[in-house]
Amino acid sequence: MARKGVGITITQHMLQQQRENPEATGGFTTLLNELIVAAKVISREVNKAGLADILGATGRTNVQEEQVQKLDVFANSVIIERMQHVGQLCCMGSEENADLIEIPSEYPKGNYIIVFDPLDGSSNIDVNVSIGTIFGIYKKKSDETNIDMLMNDVLQPGVNQVAAGYFIYGSSSMMVYTTGNGTGVHGFTLYPSVGEFLLSHENIRIPERGKIYSVNEGNDVFWDEKTLSLVNYFKARDKGSGRPYTSRYIGSLVADFHRNLLKGGIFMYPADNKDPNKPTGKLRLMVEANPLALVVKEAGGYASDGNRPILDIQPKEFHQRVPLYIGSREDVALAEDVISGRKDLT
Ligand code: AHG
Ligand code: MN
Ligand code: MN
């Protein structure tokens, strides 16, 4: 039996979605296609990182005062270079850039905004653990063109994202994304021999409740009583509710999130008093929490800051951090009840 073609490519899938969307102009598909090229380039570097001189720290710190790895810088520059010429963007926002990134004057501009974490899980680059890229896409609201004024168009609640997703560079490279509005979450695996992302996980749904909890317990001395009671709840023995849950935490948000999306479970990065500059924990609202919150919602899950839906938060500044509870709906709803004080587990 002759082998069929290659299956459904990401381009075919996006064109199908474009045809089903009356307002689609094709600009969005062009934008996403170039982002995919950037991901393929990053994936190639990640896979040969052990060989090339692309490992290790640059010796610099970024706007977040964090060690910048060479691969962070590389991934950031590849995405910016691929995105800036497409003619669909008014600006970009990156975890690695203090300010918004302008579209050079030689290129046409458009009405989309892309925000991204070019390389997530940097601490895992040198130890061959899965890392990723996270992105969210918005539509500009105003007819502003001045880069100094565009921040108001960028700081939109995550519910306004017209698309969001991530790439994960691991044993295989995958792209998982959604265009919101009930279009579902779809996963594509990169076939290096073909150089294409092919549909491998159609309409991903996260189990209502999981059996995995993911949190860095090395921070528990910095947590408040409510956070401790919540984590201890997942660790307590109770046959009826399938507890204790299994602990799985690898230190790459994209890898931890992806596993829990497929298997069910809750990922937590609580507020802690470890660093007075980061009282709401380490993860960023715009480039980490919001994109994954849209993905998990479209897959039937939920994401909260411990008091309300992540997607409802009106951002105040681009690099603001937020506590994150994300994954299976029932587990995250419990977390929100406990952290908000509506439910007392102590
Ligand atoms: P980034 O590499 O983009 O800075 O993100 C790292 C984040 C996230 O990937 C992960 O969940 C978290 O840092 C791990 O933080 P801890 O090491 O404090 O647990
Ligand atoms: Mn990150
Ligand atoms: Mn990063």
Domain borders along the chain are 10-201, 212-339
CB of 216 closer than 6 angstroms to any ligand 1 atom:
yes
Contact assessment for residue 306 and residue 290, using Cβ atoms and an 8 Å cutoff: no
CB of 292 closer than 6 angstroms to any ligand 1 atom:
no
Q: Output the CATH code of domain 212-339.
A: 3.40.190.80
In this structure, which ligand is nearest to the CA of 269? 1
Token pair of 337, please? 């009840």
Helix boundaries (H) for 49-137: 70-83
CA angle 90, 92, 98 (to 5 degrees): 130
Helix boundaries (H) for the chain: 10-20, 27-48, 70-83, 151-154, 225-235, 253-263, 290-298, 329-339
Task: Decide if pLDDT at 48 tops 80.
Answer: no
Q: How confident is the model at residue 25 (pLDDT cuts 50, 70, 90)?
A: confident
Which pLDDT score is estimated for 3? 53
Q: Which of 283, 285, 321 to mutate to test the pocket of ligand 1 (most atoms within 8 A of CB)?
A: 283
CB of 130 closer than 6 angstroms to any ligand 1 atom:
no
Task: Decide if pLDDT at 57 tops 80.
Answer: no
Question: Which residue(s) pair with 135 in the sheet?
Answer: 116, 165
Which residue's CA is the closest to the ligand 1 atom numbered 6? 121
Q: What percent of the chain has pLDDT over 90?
A: 79
Which pLDDT score is estimated for 50? 59
Task: Decide if pLDDT at 162 tops 80.
Answer: yes
Q: Which of 269, 273, 325 to mutate to test the pocket of ligand 1 (most atoms within 8 A of CB)?
A: 269
For residues 301 and 297, give the distance between their C-alpha atoms in angstroms, rounded to a whole number: 5
Angstrom CA distances, 116 to 35, 133, 202, 212, stand at 11, 7, 24, 27
Ligand 3 centroid–CA 6 distance in Å is 32
CB of 121 closer than 6 angstroms to any ligand 1 atom:
yes
Least confident of 37-41, 199-203, 275-279, 320-324: 275-279
Domain 10-201 of CATH type 3.40.50.720? no
Sheet with 186-191, strands from edge to edge, namely 89-94, 112-120, 131-139, 163-169, 173-178, 186-191, 196-201
Q: pLDDT (tens digit, 9 = 90+) per residue, 214-246?
A: 999 999 999 999 999 999 999 999 999 999 999
